[in-house]
């Protein structure tokens, strides 16, 4: 009764305890090992995340330093008068930092010294678009480009600079540059540019005769794009003022041509009465013979639309007068006469 319970035979108290402790020891070791591996894995993940965050930061800083380095190198070259080297460095800097207004201004200045006026104009125009607070600076740069391009007879750069000035500083007077740029646009067939510049050029002309000569060119440009409703008013003004004797007769011809075009448009749109008025204006003194013949062809179509077959045939016959066999107007008039002849009872 009072004795302590003995361990079963074959087992001792001393060995029994270690027998239990062994598996517990292994479990604890596994847990320690697992925790170690977990800490190691987490440490690796943290290092990888840090590395991924650092790489773009390093690249960004490298690009910033690269742009700054190119700008510094460009400044040094510019200070020593090595404008080609300066321009090259500034251009490289722009590739690394395209949004820098300061670099654009430096590209413009270096390109001016290097006499690349087209590049200078582009740089100043872009500067004004990128940073509106520097619009006056860009306009001054474009004005310098225009003067230099005019001296160098660089028409492309001059046109670009003047276009930029109209965009950046529309109220700034363009002076004598605009006349050359306008005429250059006419020579190149750039009707949009010519239409924009010619009225400004006429307003900037030093004398009335020159102004009306430029307005005549403007009117002819309008004819090319079939804006005859505006061209008619331009030609009428030149003819009425009689200030440019060399173009007055040409303006009369232009007026006749425009009247012919307007008559054709009115006829195509189903307005024969309006067309008749235009065609009669096209037969006025001063119009070219072919315009007059074309107008009579149109009047024949008007008469036909009004049901006046005899009147139509008379007009078509007048369209043949003064022509040569086989010319376009003669062919069309003869075809119309032939159809009417066959239609008669």
User: 144 lies in a domain?
Assistant: yes
Q: Could you tell me if residue 92 is inside a domain? A: yes
**pLDDT at res. 13:** 41
**Higher model confidence: residue 198 or residue 344?**
198
**pLDDT one-digit tens code per residue, 294-322:** 999 999 999 999 999 999 999 999 999 98
Query: Which residue, among 182, 200, 201, has the nearest Cα to 192 in the 3D structure?
Result: 182
In a domain, 179, yes or no: no
CA-to-CA distance for 55 and 172, rounded, in angstroms?
50
**Dihedral sign of CA atoms 16, 20, 23, 27 in order:** negative
**Cα 133 from Cα 197, distance rounded (Å):** 26
Question: Sorting pLDDT into bands at 50, 70 and 90, what band is 43?
Answer: low
The mean pLDDT of 30-34, rounded to a whole number, is 47
Q: Cα 55 from chain centroid?
A: 39
335 within domain boundaries:
yes
Q: What is the average pLDDT across 239-265?
A: 93
| Residue 271, domain member (yes or no) | no
* Residue 220 belongs to some domain of the structure: no
Is a pLDDT exceeding 50 seen at residue 10? no
Tell whether 302 is covered by a domain. yes
* Mean predicted lDDT score pLDDT of the chain: 82
- How many angstroms from the chain centroid is the CA of residue 129? 13
From residue 222, give the alpha-carbon distance in Å to each of 125, 231, 245, 304, 337: 28, 6, 21, 30, 34
Enclosing domain of residue 305? 288-345
Q: Residue 110 sits in a domain of what CATH number?
A: 1.25.40.10
Q: What is the pLDDT of residues 88-120, one digit of tens each?
A: 999 999 988 888 999 999 999 999 999 999 999
Give the residue from 117, 149, 172 where a domain finishes: 172
Q: Residue 156: its pLDDT value, please? A: 85
How far is it, in rounded angstroms, from Cα 165 to Cα 157? 12
Kindly indicate the confidence band of residue 30, based on its pLDDT and cuts at 50, 70 and 90. Answer: very low
300-308 long-range contacts (CB < 8 A, ≥24 apart) are 300/333, 300/336, 301/267, 301/272, 301/275, 301/336, 302/267, 302/272, 302/275, 302/276, 304/336, 304/340, 305/267, 305/272, 306/272
Q: What is the dihedral of CA 237, 238, 242, 246, to 10 degrees?
A: 180
The answer on pLDDT for 58 being more than 90 is no
User: Is the separation of the CB atoms in 316 and 337 below 8 Å?
Assistant: yes
Give the pLDDT of residue 97: 85
What is the pLDDT confidence band of residue 335, given thresholds at 50, 70 and 90?
very high
Q: State the total domains in the chain.
A: 2
166-207 pLDDT tens trace: 889 988 877 778 888 888 889 888 898 899 889 989 988 888
Kindly indicate the confidence band of residue 40, based on its pLDDT and cuts at 50, 70 and 90: low
Asked if residue 46 has pLDDT above 60, the reply is no
Burial of 329 (0-12, 13-18, 19+ CB in 10 A): buried
Q: What is the pLDDT of residues 64-85, one digit of tens each?
A: 445 568 899 999 999 999 999 9
Residue 291: pLDDT over 90: yes
Asked if residue 317 lies in contact with residue 278, where contact means CB atoms within 8 angstroms, the answer is no
pLDDT-derived band at 12 (thresholds 50, 70, 90) equals: very low
CA distance 109 to 112: 5
Provide the pLDDT for residue 258.
92
Q: How many CB atoms lie within 10 A of CB 223?
A: 19
What share of the chain has pLDDT > 70, as a percent? 79
Predicted pLDDT of residue 4: 43
Are 205 and 230 in contact by the 8 Å Cβ rule? The answer is: no
What pLDDT is recorded for position 206?
Answer: 84
Instruction: Answer yes or no: is 309 within a domain.
Output: yes
| SS3 per-residue string spanning 176-207 | CHHHHHHHHHHHHCCHHHHHHHHHHHHHHCCC
> What is residue 42's predicted lDDT score, i.e. its pLDDT?
52
């Amino acid at each position: 009764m009072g004795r302590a319970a003995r361990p079963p035979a074959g087992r001792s108290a001393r060995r029994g305890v270690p027998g239990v402790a062994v598996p517990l020891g292994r479990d604890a070791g596994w847990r320690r090992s697992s925790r170690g591996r977990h800490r190691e894995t987490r440490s690796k993940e943290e290092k990888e995340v840090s590395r991924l965050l650092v790489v773009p930061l390093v690249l960004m800083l490298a690009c910033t330093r690269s742009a700054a380095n190119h700008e510094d190198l460009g400044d040094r070259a510019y200070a020593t008068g090595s404008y080609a080297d300066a321009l090259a460095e500034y251009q490289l800097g722009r590739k690394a930092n395209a949004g820098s207004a300061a670099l654009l201004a430096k590209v413009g200045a270096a390109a001016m010294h290097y006499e690349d006026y087209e590049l200078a104009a582009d740089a100043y125009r872009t500067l004004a678009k990128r940073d509106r607070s520097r619009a006056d600076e860009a306009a001054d740069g474009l004005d310098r480009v225009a003067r230099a391009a005019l001296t160098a007879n660089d028409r492309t750069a001059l046109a670009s600079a003047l276009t930029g000035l109209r965009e950046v500083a529309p109220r700034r007077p363009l002076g004598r540059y605009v006349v050359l740029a306008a005429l250059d646009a006419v020579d190149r067939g750039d009707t949009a540019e010519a239409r924009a510049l010619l009225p400004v050029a006429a307003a900037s002309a030093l004398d009335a005769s020159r102004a009306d000569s430029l307005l005549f060119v403007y009117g002819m440009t309008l004819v090319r794009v079939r804006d005859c409703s505006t061209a008619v008013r331009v030609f009428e003004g030149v003819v009425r003022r009689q200030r440019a004797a060399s173009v007055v007769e040409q303006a009369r011809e232009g007026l006749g041509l425009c009247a012919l075009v307007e008559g054709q448009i009115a006829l195509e749109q189903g307005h024969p009465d309006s067309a008749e008025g235009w065609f009669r204006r096209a037969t006025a003194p001063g119009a070219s013979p072919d315009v007059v013949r074309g107008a009579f062809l149109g009047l024949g179509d008007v008469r036909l639309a009004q049901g006046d077959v005899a009147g139509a045939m008379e007009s078509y016959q007048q369209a043949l007068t003064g022509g040569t066999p086989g010319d376009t107007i003669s062919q069309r008039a003869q075809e119309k006469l032939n159809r009417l002849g066959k239609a008669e009872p």
